[in-house]
Structure formats: structure tokens, C-alpha cells
Amino acid sequence: MRNATREQTLRRLSIIVLLQWMGATLGLPLLPLFLEHRGGSPHIIGLIVASFFLAGVATQFGLGHLTDTYGRRPILVSGLILYGVASMTYVFPLHASWFTLTRVLQGGAAGAIEVASMSAVSALFAEHERGSAVAKILTAQLLGIAIGPIAGVVATVKTLGWAFFLTGVVSLIAAIIAGRTFLGDVSLDDTPLPKVQWTPQLLGAVIAAATTGVSMGVYETCWSMLMHAHHASQLQIRLSWTLFCIPWVALSRVGGWIADHWNRKWAGLIGLLNGAIFLSVYPHCHNNAVMPFIGAFESIGAALTVPSVASLLTQGASDREFGRRQGLSATAQTGALAITAIAAGFLFTINEALPFYLVSVVGVLLTLATFWSWRSIEGRIRENTLLK
């Protein structure tokens, strides 16, 4: 495993992330209907969907701690196995409420996969190369999200359990790949873990993750409902998600180049502001042929800037901090997403534009807080910067 080059390891990690996200999104469009078919009420379905994110909030920092203590590979392999086994339980003829446990296990496992894979990239690539490496992982993630629902289009509500079973098989295959991949782990160090240093880079990156999370929470709950309120067809709604993914996949590597060669501080701030501005635009667009293309322009801004934020998260950190830093970022993003998703649904019942306007304002305020944290840091990374 140690004979593999960093580029080979990155390719394997990209395949793992692609397979996991493709499997994770394979049956999501029909999941609420599947749960309803199994006797779930709207309240139970809401609890089941939310439990995935709540499990991530509860476990991601702890998983980061385990990653720093015991290594990335065992956490990544364990996460993939747990996700695979949990996914297979959908074939059982159970009442919907039992699948709350399934989603909890999937949420915790997905957190382990994210924390371990992203911290591995930080360990394997020096700071002046990290943006491009992170961008490839993000590209694989978005490509999996784009392919998954399309690959699962042949599934029906009755056969969805077997589609999720296939997801489990895919995850177990990914676990085999991960088990044969060197992820930058060094010999087990029995000395106590160093404390996480709350540097301006880390604080700003965590605030930025929360900023991204609140935007995602609105889209998770309200995007399809907004388009439906504007009389969009199901095809237009599906197309809007696809068109968002395509620019990100195409331009994410350019975003990685920007992170490594330009000022990643300013790139990250521009990206956060870009997201907040677009949130305030969507309620004004009633043309469903145009709306997906507006989303594609937002995606361009995200693709060019997200690698910069991800790179700043671990900038200046020691190897044994990477897991906990990734855990803090993931917790902030997932927590903000879950809270906003719940609140946005309530706000949408008052006025369809209200959650978009309100979160746009929150996004601007959080961007200003990120700027305050990053105001004195150096955003450019020199090629002779050493991995600490």
C-alpha cells in the first residue's frame, strides 16, 4: 500500500467517494414515498429524513478524534462497511419507523467516510497542492450525486428496497478498495493528541462551513417546493439539480488551481457571498426554463471557490489535527443544514420567498464573520510551504 503514489491514492479515494455518493443518492427521490408505503406518516417520514443529519452532527467530531488517534484507513473502512450493511436493511418488510435506525447508522457512517477521506487528502498533499487535491474529491462527490438519481430512475417504490441493497453492495466494494489504500497514516502514536489550535484559518473555515450549511438547508427543503409553486414539471425540477452539478464537476479542478495559485482567502469569501446573493434571486424568477440555468451560474461560483475554503481548514495544522478539524467543519455544516431545513419548511408555509430572503441575510452576516476571522491571515500559499 505504501508503494502507491499520492496520485494513485487520490484516484482511489475519488472512486470511493464517487461510489459512496452514487449509492447514497440512488433511491433518494423516492424515499419519502417508500416510507409512506411502509406505513409512515408525514411526521415519521420527517423524523427519518432528519435522523441522517442529526446522526452526523452527533458523531462527526468524535469520528475526527478517532481518525487522529487510530488512523484514517480503519475509520474509512468501518464507515463504508457500516453504511453498506445499514443500506441492505431496506429490503426487510419492516414498518417505516424501524428505518429511523437505518438512517442514523447511515448518517454516522457517511460522517466517518467524509472525515477520513478529507483528512487523508490533507495528510498526503502539501499545503500548496491541497486545493487541487480537494477539488478532485469534491468533483467525485458531485458526480456521484448527479449520477445516482439517474441510475436509480428504473427503481419503483416497490423495488426501492433492492435498489438500496445494491447501494450496500457498492459500499462494501468501496470498503475493499479502501482497505488496500494507503491514506497517509503513520505508525500508531501512543502520545496524547495535541490540542486543536483554534487559529483564524480554522475559525473562519468552520463559520464558512456553517454558511454553506444554511444555504443547503433551504435548498434541501424548499427548492423543489418553490419550483412547484412556480408550476414547474417534475422533469424541470430534476433537470435543475442536474444542471447545478454539471458546472461544478466541470470547473472544480479550476477551483483547485485557484486555491493553490491565487489568494484562497478572497476566493472563499467571494464564493460565500455568491451563494448568499443567489438565494435572494430565486424567488423573483418565475420562468422555469430559466431558473435551472440561474442555478448553474451559482454552481460555477461554488466550484471555483469551495476548494479554497476546504484548503484553509487545515492550513498550518499538524497531521494529528486533520481529523478533528474535518470533524468540526462537517459538524458545523451538517448542524446548520439540519436546523435550517426544519426552519425553512415552516417559513415556506408563511411565504414562499421568506426562507430564501432570510437565509440570504444570514449568509451575508456569516460571510462578514468569516472575513473578520480571516482578516489578518495570508491567503497565498508559497510552493516551498512545508506540510507541518
Q: How confident is the model over 8-30, as pLDDT tens digits?
A: 889 889 988 888 888 777 766 67
So where are the chain's domains? 7-179, 200-374
Rounded to 10 degrees, the C-alpha dihedral 125/129/130/132 comes to: -120
Rounded to 10 degrees, the C-alpha dihedral 244/250/251/256 comes to: 120
Alpha-carbon distance of 204 to 128, in angstroms, equals 19
**Is the predicted pLDDT of residue 317 greater than 50, yes or no?**
yes
Look up cell 451559482; give the residue.
Answer: 298
Tell me the mean pLDDT in the region 305-317: 90
For the domain bounded by 7-179, which CATH number is listed? 1.20.1250.20
What is this structure's pTM? 0.83
Q: How confident is the model over 239-295, as pLDDT tens digits?
A: 777 788 888 888 888 999 999 999 999 999 999 999 999 999 999 888 888 888 888
Q: In Å, what is the CA distance from 83 to each residue of 112, 119, 190? A: 10, 19, 29
Output 50 or 211, whichever has higher pLDDT.
211
Output 266 or 31, whichever has higher pLDDT.
266
Q: How confident is the model over 176-232, as pLDDT tens digits?
A: 988 888 887 765 666 788 888 899 999 999 999 999 999 988 887 788 788 878 888
pLDDT value at position 187?
Answer: 58
Domains 7-179 and 200-374 share a fold: yes
Alpha-carbon distance of 195 to 317, in angstroms, equals 11
Of 142-146, 225-229, 292-296, 331-335, the range with the highest mean pLDDT is: 331-335
Task: Please answer whether residues 157 and 29 qualify as being in contact, where contact means their C-beta atoms are separated by less than 8 angstroms.
Answer: no
Question: Could you say which of 1.20.1260.10, 1.10.3720.10, 1.20.1250.20, 1.10.268.10 is the CATH number of the domain covering 200-374?
Answer: 1.20.1250.20
Tell me the mean pLDDT in the region 114-124: 90
